[in-house]
Structure 1
């Protein structure tokens, strides 16, 4: 069989299996993209996700497809990346969707909403529920196609200059909280501040803010929050499984060959798994350092605070469903998925985890 006929009849999977891929890849044109990240370079886990993606794209394309990765503020502001991708200033961005809830609250569902899905559930909804389909329909309004680009796992609730003993202590609290969750803090009487990661330490040190949350022990230790705020709270009820996404300009994506599109998908999935694996390895080590070596006071939110936050979150979602059709369409599917997932996780996952965490090895 001649080569051209073989490629046509075998398809990409057959070509890869037959070992003919290198010639196909090398026949592709050179592609150069720029990626605008929303994260500072010193955070090698979350900013590093963009680098992991770019490296994998290069490897899978035999070096033909190159993506340069730029930290927040280099090409555009950290929170300007949606506009940058939408208007074609850059081809791709790596960011957290809830940063852009001000454009439409529906963005937040693509990352995390208070008392939402955990990371495994979010991945399940995205890949095998209706998540990817629904969010892509929504992002079409912004000239964007999205791909999952990581997850941090459940986050900590951040660093506080004073102890939180009751729900009353939230009132008047100037709290840096990422994106959409600030709506709930506001309903609880707090004063949410939406600041990029690179600005948090100085704001907390100067008292411009009273508290700040970022991700978890590994990143927080790097950013030095323990030096300026002694109380470290958990759980981060607003981020049970926050997903990071790649946003790609639709025109740039459609200009790619089918092989390059497949490479984007493969590199995205690789990055998605890699990021949380890194956090799960690094966070336990960092938490021990924070508590043992830096006199951090590890505190659990009082039940009163959690209950008020839950109540206000559910009320907010009902209000949004009544006035935002984009939100209503996506959230209704998300909420049904969450209900069934929590029924399942209650028995298997939670039962196993609760027992194991009481053991002393």
Structure 2
């Protein structure tokens, strides 16, 4: 790992958050002062979680009138994005922070995948590199969360948005087989990425074209039997995730079996995704509330262990044709032992 320390960050915008208290990369009182109403709770007990959530008055989807209450226009000053989870270098392994990770840490479909079905380590370049991360609690899902925050003033020089926002909507209410509604108490894990300064030089033309098609919500013909179908190109968006420290979790035999079956297994985001295009950003909402019963139950089984996990998260565009290969990383980030019980209220 020593050869990966720089992680290409020298050519990117350096993260604004740090744990060392320095003036340029501080995430202490000065950084969090930008969010005076992000209240943190100290308890992590499951039994008290519901009592805690019931105290919060922030609701976004109850009625159209509620939207006006939290409308961006109603805010005197938007809080700065990416200030609730601090940055730390990947080699330090400090809990409760995010770190950049090399794109080549992930395995993707290789150049000859359609023939040999082999996966290879991804090329060591990505379209977007991490800028920051936030974790917020709310009583209902919050869609298009970027509109409520002040994003870095990065101007795009081309047709690709300069900032990518990934809003992972995580449910906190119990999973049931006959789920009548896919909404309720939960949290948003929000990840922010900046377009690579070497985007046009390092990324191949086929990947850049596919990303443009995804952003523009284009469609494509998909071969099928008995007839071909027309599908949104966005259905190719794929999650690459893994727990990087499985050996530290001391799992039971059943948990190890579950982990081995699903760790590092790619998952298409369809249909549990939504997309929003802003003035200088592109937001992807990944709705875990709408995941299948089995997927939700599997997540619940590891919920109490999440704060001990080192999670590597990435996105790519699935290559279904020879000209789409090898796959390249759209973005990637490492989350170091995030204490998900320290919920922060969205307090507008």
Greater strand proportion: 2
TM-score, normalised by the number of residues in structure 1: 0.23
Question: Looking at both structures, which has the greater relative contact order when contacts are Cα pairs under 8 Å and sequence separation is at least 6?
Answer: 2
> Could you say which structure has the larger radius of gyration?
1
Greater helix proportion: 1
